[in-house]
Amino acid sequence: MTARLPGATLGVMGGGQLGRMFVHAAQQLGYRTVVLDPDPASPAGEIAHRHIRADYLDADGLAALADACDAITTEFENVPAEALQRLAARRPVAPSAAAVAVCQDRAAEKAHFERSGVACAPHVVIASEADLARIDDALLPGILKTARLGYDGKGQVRVRDRTELASAWRALGRVACVLERMLPLALELSVIVARASDGDVVHLPVQQNLHRDGILAVTRVPAPGVDAALAARAFEAAGRIAATLGYVGVLCVEFFVLDDGALVANEMAPRPHNSGHYSIDACDLSQFELQVRTLAGLPLVAPRLHSPCVMLNLLGDLWFDAGGRERTPDWAPVLALQGARLHLYGKASARKARKMGHLTIVAATAEEADRTASVAAGRLGLPSR
């Protein structure tokens, strides 16, 4: 692929925080940026050189984006694949519409893991009452997930038996769902890879993650529960998933590590990921610069972790006091801590469970990062574990 050098214009479909951090990285390298997002106050649109305020399937908006840009990416997986396909007729698009479409459907995603030879949880697709009647009891208890439009714990219900399963499927609107068997988890980790059009692949260090209510809460790097052998298995599996998808861009694969040490793929995201935000402060190359490089056809260099770190996700709950009144969090006591790096996403309003920012604590040792993160969490009123 011919490199698109700094001075070219890069477009991004979506104006959220991931788009904002992509725009920062692109502008730092000297690129012009254009964002397409219908929200006039989108975080990425506010800082891009140009903001096209249009729906993701708006023909005029897509034409304007293609006219303005040399290459285009996406900042979240629910941008319609059809829109990416239309854009690809005129401009290079990475990741491709076909790759994003797989990531938009849990059933297709599971099938892709299996096609790649990567283990995932035992599961079945439920699309009808007849499918419910045929469920194998070995899949219960399990987690019922909508096949599409589920993220951050949305569209997911834990079910213990057939009665709860039937009730949950109907409550979710009788849409296509995937039922996954509950597995004995030791820990959760994620791997972020960047793959170029020539097949060259680099990755960030393994991230160990803690979720609360289905939303990422804490990421630790180096991953305290991951040895070199497990990390190698995770890197190899993520790379294989990307290669068999013909993927170009930044891809995150989330894995479960089971009590017996088995590694199973959970889900993937065709974009930079919340668990990789720490790379801005703790690595010499962030996931967002990797996204720019894959889109622009620049050389990929393996990122190096220069500082152990702990990242705390900051949700909108912090913007409300115990009585439910909105307030601005007091950041001063947190910013007084050595190694504290605060990133707020520029969102106009807070609401419960909305991602408003993240705090990365960098330190000379993992133990020091962990101690400081515990202090920061305490000052913010957050649990650190």
The per-residue pLDDT for range 208-221, each reduced to its tens digit, is 999 998 899 999 99
Domain range for 80 = 9-93
pLDDT, tens digit (0-9, with 9 covering 90-100), for 65-115: 999 999 999 998 889 999 999 999 999 999 999 999 999 999 999 999 999
Q: Minimal CA–CA distance to 303: which of 272, 330, 267?
A: 272
Residue 305: pLDDT over 70: yes
352, part of any domain: yes
Same domain (yes/no): 322, 294: no
| CATH assignment of the domain containing 73 | 3.40.50.20
**Average pLDDT of span 343-369:** 96
pLDDT tens across 30-79, in order?
999 999 999 999 999 999 999 999 999 999 999 999 999 999 999 988 89
Answer yes or no: are the C-beta atoms of 216 and 165 closer than 8 Å: no
- pLDDT of residue 5 exceeding 90: yes
- Of 151, 181, 211, the one marking the end of a domain is 181
Residues 299 and 315 in one domain: no
Residues 300 and 321 in one domain: no
Q: Is residue 112 part of a domain?
A: no
177/195 same-domain check: no
User: Can you give the pLDDT at residue 385?
Assistant: 67
Instruction: Return the CATH number at 375.
Output: 3.30.470.20
63: tokens are 């034409």
35, part of any domain: yes
Predicted local confidence at residue 2, as pLDDT: 82
Residue 31 main-chain phi, psi, to 5 deg: -90, 150
Q: Same domain for 130 and 205? A: no
> How do residues 189-200 score in pLDDT, each as one tens digit?
999 999 999 999
Same domain as 299, residue 338: no
Identify the pLDDT of residue 214: 86
Tokens (6 digits) for 242: 């990307």
Last residue of a domain, one of 131, 161, 181: 181
Tell me, yes or no, whether 312 lies in a domain.
yes
- Say yes or no: 23 and 128 in one domain: no
The answer on 368 and 327 residing in a single domain is: yes
Tally of structural domains, the chain: 4
Question: Same domain, yes or no, for 74 and 42?
Answer: yes
Within a domain: residue 377? Answer: yes
- Regarding whether 301 and 370 lie in a shared domain, the answer is no
CA separation, residue 25 to residues 4, 31, 45, 151, 178 (Å): 15, 9, 14, 25, 36
Query: What confidence category does residue 250 fall into, taking pLDDT thresholds of 50, 70 and 90?
Result: very high
pLDDT at res. 319: 96
Smallest CA-to-CA distance from 360 within 312, 308, 317, 318 is with 312
In a domain, 338, yes or no: yes
Position 106 in a domain: no
pLDDT category, 307, cuts 50, 70, 90?
very high
| 274 plus 378 within the same structural domain | no
Region 344-360: mean pLDDT is 95
Domain final residue pick, 263, 291, 306: 306
SS3 content of the chain, % helix, strand, coil (to 5): 30, 30, 40
Whether 116 is covered by a domain: the verdict is no
Based on the fold, state whether residues 300 and 322 are members of the same structural domain.
no
Predicted local distance difference test score (pLDDT) of residue 384: 60
Q: CATH number, domain at 133?
A: 3.30.1490.20
**What does each C-alpha distance from 119 to 123, 177, 221 come to in angstroms?**
11, 19, 24
